[in-house]
Each structure stands twice: as C-alpha cells, then as structure tokens.
Structure 1
Amino acid sequence: MEPKPDYNRISTSPHFKRLMHKKKRFLFPMTLFFLVFYFLLPVLTSYSKTLNEPAIGPISWAWVFAFAQFIMTWTLCILYSRKSVQFDQEIEQIKQEAAGRTKA
C-alpha cells in the first residue's frame, strides 16, 4: 500500500502555488466575462429598448444576442478544455514530486 501524500507539503510547494496562480489568472477573467455576458441579455431586455430593434429582417438584436451566448459558451468550453491539458500535465508533475519521483 502506498503512503498517503503529504497534502500540507504539496500545498506549500512553489510548483503547486504557481499552478494555482495560473489557474486563477485563467479562470477568473473567463468566469467574469461569462457572467457579465450571460446576465447582460435579461438586464438589457428589461431596462432598454435597444435589443428590441430589428437586426436582420424581423429578427431582433435580442435573438442575435441570445444566439451569441451559445457561441460564447462553446468557445469558452473549448478554450478551457485546451488549457486544462496544460494544467493536467503540471498536476502530474506535482504528483510525481510528492511521491518522490521527479520527471524531467
């Protein structure tokens, strides 16, 4: 049976702190953008007439904005999926360091 990892030592390691900093720098702006973009539609439709104007024929800007939310969600998911590969590689390095093995 393998010994349990020393989570206190892992959480104070420079490699782990650097990973967490990278993740926060990536996730915070993405989350903020998502929330603002997502809640902008109901706020603008409630307190503004801008989105009720026709954009393309009978299609209003509200429909264009709503469709753009799907595109935004897919784009953010793709970006995160690609970035998570890098995070996973760093996590594997941290796990190996914690187990006493260093991968070059």
Structure 2
Amino acid sequence: MKERRQPTPQEFREMQSSPEFKELRSKFRSFAFPMSIAFFVWYIVYVLVATFASDWMGTPLVGNINIGVFFGLAQFVTTFAITYIYIVFANKNLEPRQAAIREKMEG
C-alpha cells in the first residue's frame, strides 16, 4: 500500500482557492442548498396545514389512517428519498472530484 503524505497548512490554503476545489464546492452547493430549501418548505407546509387545517388533516383515508398521518409518514419517506438522491449525486458528481483533490494533496 502506498503511503500518503500529510499536506502542509499552506497546501491546504492553496487548494482551497484552486479551481478544482471551487468546482467541488459549487457542485455540492448546487445540490445541497436547493434540496434543503425544498425540504424545509415541504416541512413548513406540513406544519402550517396541520395547524390551520386540522379538520382536513383529520379526514380518514384508510381505516384509522388520516391525511395527517399520511403526510407525517411522507416526511420520513421524503427524508429517505433525499438521502438516496444525495448518495447517487455524490457518487457521480462529488466523489470523483474529491478523490482527485485527495490524490493531488496526499500523493
């Protein structure tokens, strides 16, 4: 196994301002910020609807499962879906860039 070297603090600062690192950061932010905002809005809508339309949220769908329970469970499903989507995105768009930067820094 090839031994990796420890980059110096100066090398870290230089990499932080490099085009490769800026591209990696940009790719991450282009996914993370919109997805975070979308999920936050979805959560706030859920809370607001539960607060101001509680009668509607209490409407039964199947047996004892009402709209509120369905939307609550959908929050969990959405969380797992976002996690899966992020993993696919990261493996395709972030990991190769991170590996290239790591190789360049550690040798």
How far, CA to CA, are the matches of 2:70 and 2:57 in structure 1?
9
String of CA shifts for 1:40-66, please: whole Å, max 9, x gaps: 222211112432333345432111111
TM-score, normalised by the number of residues in structure 2: 0.78
| Secondary structure of the corresponding residue to residue 15 of structure 2 | helix
Q: Which residue of 2 aligns with 1:18?
A: 23
- The count of aligned residue pairs is 100
Structure 1: gaps spanning 5 or more residues: none
Structure 2: gaps spanning 5 or more residues: none
User: Which shows bigger deviation, 88-97 or 48-57?
Assistant: 48-57
| Secondary structure of the corresponding residue to residue 55 of structure 1 | strand
User: Which of 57, 61, 64 is the aligned partner of 1:55?
Assistant: 61
Structure 1 residue runs of 4 or more that deviate by more than 6 Å after TM superposition: none
> How far did 1:18 drift?
0.6
Identity, % of aligned pairs?
23
Instruction: Please tell me the residue identity of whatever aligns with 2:101.
Output: I
C-alpha root-mean-square deviation of aligned residues, in Å?
2.1
Q: Is the 8 A contact 2:7 2:105 kept in 1?
A: no
Q: Highest relative contact order (Cα 8 Å, sep 6+), 1 or 2?
A: 2
1:1-104 alignment, distance < 5 Å: 2-5=5-8, 6-48=11-53, 49-86=55-92, 87-99=94-106
